[in-house]
Structure 1
Amino acid sequence: MDLSDVEVSLDLFDVIRSRRSVRKFKDQSVGDEEVVKVLKAGVWAPSAGNLQSRDYVVVRDGEVKRELVKAAEQQFIFDAPVVIVVCANMERASEKYGDRGYNLYSIQDATAAVQNMLLTVHALGLGSCWIGAFDEERVSEVLGLPSGVRPVSMLPIGHPDVDPNPPKRYPLEKFVHEEKW
């Protein structure tokens, strides 16, 4: 199975505009096939030098999820049937790019994967939330991450039990600048 197996009935821009952070899930499992599709979406994200300096830890175990809840102080993580922890593989990025790869490109690679994964979660009719606020040391310890692999994001994934309203967005003019400010 490759990413072309994912059937999406929404236009890309509809998927982007309609994706929401979901923090409440139904008591319903998420299948391995869906998890693999989400992971493959992460694999296809762009990366510096195509080094793909990111790793994923899939968590379904209740005790491990309890520890992630403690590390993030966000109870809803436990209610998600699956949590994917996206990590920056700093060692892999530094092989080609030295300090810049270690400190920046690996983080960019991981976060590019997160966005692909969040959009895929939504296109599959599931929900998730990008969690970046957590105790990195504790998460690394709980997951047994090796040195040079840094947890960047947790994605609790499940069937949404809410339909959040769209958040307010600033006008485009606030973000776009001429080449000389």
Structure 2
Amino acid sequence: MIDTTTTSPATPSAHQPPLFDTMSTMRAMRRLKPDPVPDELLDQLIQAAVWGPSGGNMQRYEYVVVTDPEVMARLAPLWKRCVDAYLATTGKHGPEGMPEAAYARMVAAIEYQRDHFAATPALIIPCYRMPELQTDDAGVQAYVAALGTTAAAELAGTQERFTALAEGSCVYPGVQNLLLAARGLGLAANITIWHLMLESEWKDTLGIPADMRTFAAIPVGWPMGNFGPVRRRPVSEVVHRNGW
């Protein structure tokens, strides 16, 4: 995620629950120590993810957890290709409003993680398989009646996007839980989707079934640096009350 703001970070008040402090200091930490992360802590991260909601409470998620250095070494060239492709598209300058120095620090952290990926202690890949919905003629007729003919036709044209968002809504709440749990346990983690540029190769390397979709690649480890306040746009700039 690219932080495009130069505004001051939010400061949780003493009356807010501890979770607010966790969220407001949950930076994307890309410089990781090579020290291993105990399996019991990784299990806690997955437990936090499993507590997240999923559509219809179907719970069709699966999590691939990589800790074997040999497997990580096989993934490292794929990671490098994906990161290089990403950096090639972002340009030499950051987005409008982001100081050049801040952008340079972000790129340096991404490059560091790229160059040291084989030493990543753990990598978590959330997966999801959406079942095919079985609808009879009566169900289709009721569906069209509820939406209206025009809206039903428009939705048919965006079905691919609707399906992708439906799957994502079943996965990403759990991913956010995982990231919050990592921060709470003192672990560094950051969400990426760069692997999707070479998803079939990643799936082949990890033996992930062809019909299983992957939604992120999350490096996890002990941070080299310190957690600190995130810098985000203030609420007053992003909220639209009762309409746009």
Q: TM-score band (shorter)?
A: 0.7 to 0.9
Structure with max Cα Rg: 2
Question: Judging changes above 3 Å, is the alpha-carbon distance between structure 1 residues 102 and 143 closer, same or farther for their aligned structure 2 residues?
Answer: farther
Give yes or no for the alignment of 1:87 onto 2:127: yes
Contact 1:28 1:158 in 2 (8 A): yes
Q: Secondary structure at the match of 2:125?
A: strand
- Considering Cα pairs closer than 8 Å and 6+ residues apart, tell me whether 1 or 2 has the greater RCO: 2
The gaps in structure 2 that reach 5 residues or longer are 1-16, 81-113, 136-158
Which residue of 2 is the match for residue 131 of structure 1?
192
Report the more deviating stretch, 67-76 or 106-115. Answer: 67-76
Which residue of 2 is the match for residue 3 of structure 1?
none
Contact 1:24 1:79 in 2 (8 A): no
Contact 2:25 2:227 in 1 (8 A): no
Shift, 1:38, TM fit:
0.4
Report the more deviating stretch, 51-60 or 34-43. Answer: 51-60
Q: Secondary structure at the match of 1:118?
A: helix
| In structure 1, distance between residues paired with 2:120 and 2:61 | 22
Shift, 1:27, TM fit:
3.0
Which residue of 1 is the match for residue 177 of structure 2?
116
Letter in 2 for 1:18: T
Scaled by the length of structure 2, the TM-score of the pair is 0.62
How many equivalent residue pairs?
169
Q: Secondary structure at the match of 2:70?
A: helix
Which residue of 1 is the match for residue 40 of structure 2?
33
Structure 1 consecutive aligned stretches of length 4 or more whose deviation exceeds 6 Å: none
Shift, 1:19, TM fit:
1.2
**Equivalent residues in 2 for 1:17-166 (5 A)?**
17-73=24-80, 74-91=114-131, 94-95=132-133, 102-134=163-195, 135-163=198-226, 165-166=228-229
Contact 2:203 2:210 in 1 (8 A): no
Which residue of 2 is the match for residue 4 of structure 1?
none
Shift, 1:128, TM fit:
0.9
Letter in 2 for 1:111: Y
Shift, 1:33, TM fit:
0.8
Shift, 1:95, TM fit:
4.4
| In structure 2, distance between residues paired with 1:166 and 1:112 | 22
Scaled by the length of structure 1, the TM-score of the pair is 0.82
Shift, 1:49, TM fit:
0.6
Shift, 1:42, TM fit:
0.6
| In structure 2, distance between residues paired with 1:129 and 1:77 | 13
Structure in which a larger fraction of residues adopt helix: 2
| In structure 2, distance between residues paired with 1:23 and 1:145 | 25
| In structure 1, distance between residues paired with 2:166 and 2:134 | 10
Report the more deviating stretch, 13-22 or 171-180. Answer: 171-180
| In structure 2, distance between residues paired with 1:176 and 1:144 | 43
Percent of residue pairs identical: 31
Shift, 1:162, TM fit:
1.2
Question: Judging changes above 3 Å, is the alpha-carbon distance between structure 1 residues 174 and 40 closer, same or farther for their aligned structure 2 residues?
Answer: same
Contact 1:45 1:116 in 2 (8 A): yes
| In structure 2, distance between residues paired with 1:46 and 1:119 | 15
Shift, 1:75, TM fit:
3.4
Letter in 2 for 1:36: D
Which residue of 1 is the match for residue 93 of structure 2?
none
| In structure 1, distance between residues paired with 2:133 and 2:51 | 21
